[in-house]
Structure 1
Amino acid sequence: MPTVTLLTRAECAACAAARADLTRICADLGTDFDEVDVDRAAADGDPALRVEFGDRLPVVLLDDDEHSYWEVDEERLRADLTTRG
């Protein structure tokens, strides 16, 4: 099963919209996603995600590879999840 991760930060309106999109898409396809706040991860001692992705949040990772940023590419994500599932 492919892994989907949403990289976010607190009080980010685009991140909230991406979370809503992923919730709907993943529910439709019977999969889950994880959410990681890059600022919280950095504060906990792991700054790598914030360094790499912090200037273009939200970011959707599919199997740890960048899939889309700033918004969810729904058509592409559905296709990729279907072929990898």
Structure 2
Amino acid sequence: MSSRVTLYGKPGCHLCDDARAIVQTVCAELGVEWTEVDITQDDRLFTEYGEQIPVTFVDGKQHDFWRVDPVRLRKALAG
């Protein structure tokens, strides 16, 4: 099973820590797989998302950046 949610972030980012907690909770509640990508390990990702992190993708499409709204994430995963 592939991950439906991908969280792009970097170490030491407090917004990423907040987003991770929300993604982890919502995905656990719904039984949805998720993964996290450290953008500092990929120059292209760092250039593309460095000013927007954390960035979340749902089913391969950008869903949110900077903050994750748990209600909005649940709705996207239910649809």
State if a TM-score over 0.5 links the two structures: yes
Q: Which residue of 2 aligns with 1:75?
A: 71
The letter for the 1-side match of 2:12 is: E
Q: Sort the Cα spacing of 1:37 and 1:2 in 2 relative to 1 into closer, same or farther, 3 A.
A: closer
* Structure 1 moving runs of 4+ over 3 Å: none
The correspondence of residues 43-62 of structure 1 with structure 2, limited to 5 A, is: 47-62=43-58
Task: Could you tell me which runs of 5 or more consecutive residues in structure 1 were left unpaired when the two chains were aligned.
Answer: none
The correspondence of residues 1-85 of structure 1 with structure 2, limited to 5 A, is: 3-40=4-41, 42=42, 47-83=43-79
Q: Residue by residue, what CA displacement relative to the aligned partner does 1:24-66 show, whole Å, maximum 9, x if unpaired?
A: 00011011210000002x2xxxx22212111110011112221
SS at match of 2:52: coil
TM-score between both structures, scaled by the size of structure 1: 0.83
TM-score between both structures, scaled by the size of structure 2: 0.89
Task: Could you tell me which runs of 5 or more consecutive residues in structure 2 were left unpaired when the two chains were aligned.
Answer: none
Distance 1:68 1:74 in 2: 11
